[in-house]
Structure 1
Amino acid sequence: MGAVGYWPRFSFGRDVLKKPVLVPLLFGLVGAAILVSLGVWQLQRLQWKNAMLAEIDRVIAAEPVPLPDHPDKAVDQFLPVDVQGQITADEIHVLASTKDTGPGCRIISAFETDGGRRIMLDRGFVAIPAKDAPRPAIRARIIGNLLWPDEAGASIPEPDTTKNIWFARDVAGMAAKLGTEPVLLVQRLSSEETPVTTPFPVTSAGIPNRHLEYVVTWFGLALVWLGMTAYLIWRIRRRNE
């Protein structure tokens, strides 16, 4: 038969188990099994991550409670809280942006509760022109969620304290600057008659979840690996004919 119209036929009988193809066959099957196992593992991770995100959304949307006496990141992350007190004029500005407005800042204010505590309040977003606009102290009732953001790190620049520009919500660093407890409350609702900020939504949407992408990648690589193995065996058999 000529080359035109030739289609390789694979037979996995005795010929395949001959020495020239046995090693690549075993290598191909073992490699594919490893790739499939990684895909299955990522599928399990995807199910776990989806369940975790659903639980986070459930916690965020729960009924707000009074501010705990000793908030703990391990226990109170995303806890909905209802507090009343004074939003002070002491602020930190953290660079941020929104899709509609573009660059701006998060306004992190010191908040003095009616119970005599001083915590931080993430009031939300303002555009760059309003960064240094006056925001006088005001009494308010705030409903929001406790949050310990994972934003600070070695790659994040140090804050420019002369211009009051921060590049991440470093809870410990901001608390030291504002003289508050290392507790950050992200505002969802405020009793202010004329809000001066736009609160960011509090959801699990910002938590990375790329496990489905990894599932597709590993299973796709397994198919490619098997295809390459079949092609290699065909080439070996054809050369030995």
Structure 2
Amino acid sequence: MTRRLIIVVLFGLIGAGILAGLGFWQLQRLSWKEGVLAEIDTRITAAPVAIPGDPDPEADRYLPVSAEGAFVGDPVRVLVSLQGSGPGYRLIQAFDLGERRVMVDRGFLAERAEAPDLAGPALVIGNLHWPDEVDGFTPDADLGRNIWYARDVDALAAHLGADPILIIARSLSVDDSPVTPLPVSSDGIPNNHLGYAVQWFGLALVWLGMTAFLGWRITRRTA
């Protein structure tokens, strides 16, 4: 075996080993992420509790809660598009608990549908959430048409005169049809580690194939 061929083989094996190692690392990340998602699912579906006095956006994210109060004021409409239903709005409304006001994401309302006016006492069961939907490309709210483009909890709270606490409703004790609740779930949390692992393993195979081809050409020239 010539010196050049030895270098090519070593380089090929080392490169393929690094790529395969990245693939195995992504598999480890996949296992970790699946555990995290399982914990989130367990947390989401746990028995609801009272809203904490001062909930933390990280520690209390997805916390299942139960709240009794009354819807007040007009709901804010947040523009969304729901697969299978087309464009529409999430309805977010202030909810008076007596000692304070929070906000409730009532769910999805189709674009041309009319939302019912909720009055009187109501029981809301859902999960606390602080959606991260605002970035540098998010348009400002169109207050004239009552259309918002993201669930900006702080901005919505200031607009609705409520605390920056958002409950994503799972169920209401009052009839809210045709509004459809959109409860929180782990479905929207990205978990692409398996795809990344396949890519790294594929690159490792390509690297080995290129190494084998180069080695074959070297041996032919030296034969």
1:89–1:137: 8 Å Cα contact kept in structure 2?
no
How far apart are residue 202 of structure 1 and its match? 2.2
Q: What letter is aligned with 1:130?
A: A
Structure 1: where are the runs of 5+ without partners?
1-14
What is the total number of aligned residue pairs between the two structures? Answer: 223
User: Is 1:163 aligned to residue 145 of structure 2?
Assistant: yes
Is 1:200 the counterpart of 2:200? The answer is no
Q: Give SS of 1:220's match.
A: helix
Deviations 1:126-175 (A, max 9, x none): 011136x5624342100000011111111222222221111111111111
What corresponds to 1:60 in structure 2? Answer: 44
Amino acid at match of 1:137: A
Counterparts of 2:129 and 2:113, CA distance in 1 = 25
Larger CA deviation: 211-220 vs 196-205 = 196-205
Aligned to 1:50: 34
3-state SS in 2 of match to 1:74 = coil
Specify the SS of the correspondent of 1:90: strand
Residue number in structure 2 paired with 1:119: 102
Structure 1 counterpart of 2:155, one-letter code: G
The alignment partner of 1:27 has SS state of helix
Q: Distance in 1 between matches of 2:74 and 2:120?
A: 12
Aligned partners of 1:84 and 1:139 also within 8 Å = yes
Which of 192, 196, 205 matches 1:210? 192
Q: Is the 8 A contact 1:89 1:136 kept in 2?
A: no
Deviates more, 1:38-47 or 1:133-142: 133-142
Larger Rg: 1
- Partner of 1:227 in structure 2? 209
Q: TM-score, normalization: structure 1?
A: 0.88
Whether the 8 Å CA contact 1:88–1:138 is kept in 2: the answer is no
Structure 2, unaligned runs of 5 or more: none
1:101 aligns with 2:61: no
* Cα deviation 1:107-131 (Å, max 9, x = unaligned): 01011114x1111100000011136
Q: Which amino acid counterpart does residue 82 of structure 2 have in structure 1?
A: T
Distance of 1:49 and 1:134 partners within structure 2: 40
* Aligned pairs (5 A) from 1:171-186: 171-186=153-168
- TM superposition shift of 1:195: 3.5
Percent identity, please.
52
**Are 2:113 and 2:178, in contact at CA under 8 Å, matched by a contact in 1?**
no
Which residue does the alignment assign to 1:149? 131
Question: 2: CA distance between counterparts of 1:152 and 1:176?
Answer: 16
1:135 corresponds to which of 111, 117, 120: 117
Deviation for aligned residue 1:90? 2.8
RMSD, aligned α-carbons = 1.5
Q: Is the 8 A contact 1:77 1:147 kept in 2?
A: yes
The letter for the 1-side match of 2:154 is A
**Which structure 1 residue ranges, 4+ long, deviate > 3 Å from structure 2?**
193-196
State the TM-score, normalized to the length of structure 2: 0.95
Q: Aligned equivalents of 2:176 and 2:186: distance in 1?
A: 28
